[in-house]
Amino acid sequence: MKTLNGKVALVTGASRGIGKGIALGLGEAGAIVYITGRTVEEGKTSVNLPGTIHQTAEEIAKLGGTCIAVHCDHLNDDEVKNVFQKIQTEQGRLDILVNNVWGGYEHFNDGTEFWKEKGFWTVPLSRWDKSFQAGVRAHYVASVLAVPTMIKQQSGLIVNISYFAAQRDDKGVSYSAAKAADDRMATSMAYELREHNVAVVSLYPGLVRTEGVMKAAEFFDLSNSESPQFIGRAIAALAADQEIMRKSGQILVAAAAAKEYGFTDIDGRQPKPITVNEA
C-alpha cells in the first residue's frame, strides 16, 4: 500500500545496512527517496562489506519505488548542503529526514571484532571522534539544513536512528554517549519544533540482520532478529500517521511500532519488542 505517495524523504548513509533497509521501506511505501553515502563502486569502501548507493537505488526501483542516490561524505558540510539544495531544486519539499549515517564502526574491518576492548582507556581516541563527527554531528547538520523547508511546509518528520546503548552502561563509552546524545537531540529539537508541526523522534531497532551482523552470524541469536527493511516499514508507518505530533519527542522501538500499526517484517513475522535489559 503506497501510503507515502507524493512524500519526499532523505535517508543518510544508505549504501548498506539499516540505512539501505530504511530506504527500501520508504520506497515500497511510495515515497520519493533520496539517499546519501560514500560508496559508489563495489569494493571501494572503508569497511569490508558489500553495497553501494547505486545498488540500493536499483533495489528500490525493483520494488516499484523511486530513489535518487547522491554521493556525499557527511564530514564535508559543503557536500551535505549540496544534497539539500538538490532536493529543494528538484522537489521543492522535504517530508522525512532519517539521520542514519554512522561512522563509529569503521574499525570493525572484518565484521567480527565486536567490542573486544576491556575498557574505554584502551580504545583509540579516534573512536570517540568518529562516533560524534560521523554520527551525532552529521545528524545535527542534516537536521539544521532540513528544518527551514519543513517549517515553511508546517509539516515534517525527523528520525534519529539510535539504540538501547543510550540507556546502558556496558555498550562502550563512546557508543553509549553518542546514542544518548542522539536521543537528547531528538527530544530538544522536538520541543523547539512543536509549534511548527514538525515531529522529531529517536527510533531503536532490535537486532538487525545487516551485512555486518550476518558476516558474524555465528556470534548472534537471530531468532528474534529484524530485516533492515523492517526499520524502514516502521518509519513509513510513523510518517503516515496523521497524529504523529503526539509521538514527537519520544524514544520509540521499531518492533513496538509494528504491533501498534499492524505491519510485519518482509518474511511475514512480527519480531518481539525487546527491552533495554535485553538489548
Task: Return d(Cα 101, Cα 135) in angstroms, integer.
Answer: 6
- Catalytic status, residue 175: yes
Residue tagged 542514519 (cell numbers): 100
The length of the chain, given as a count of residues: 279
- Listed in order, strand segments (DSSP E) in 95-254 are 96-99, 156-161, 198-204, 251-253
What region, left, alpha or beta, does residue 91 occupy, with left being phi > 0 and alpha being psi -120 to 50 degrees? alpha
Listed in sequence order, the residues at least 6 apart from 194 whose beta carbon sits closer than 8 Å to its beta carbon are 245, 248, 249
Task: Return d(Cα 254, Cα 274) in angstroms, integer.
Answer: 10
Q: Judge whether 191 and 249 are in contact, CB under 8 Å.
A: yes
Alpha helices (runs of H) in 66-207, residue ranges in sequence order: 77-91, 125-131, 138-153, 173-193
Amino acid at 16: R
Amino acid at 65: G
Task: Return d(Cα 190, Cα 145) in angstroms, integer.
Answer: 15
Q: Judge whether 257 and 202 are in contact, CB under 8 Å.
A: no
From 34, 163, 175, 204, the catalytic residue: 175
| Catalytically active residues, by annotation | 175
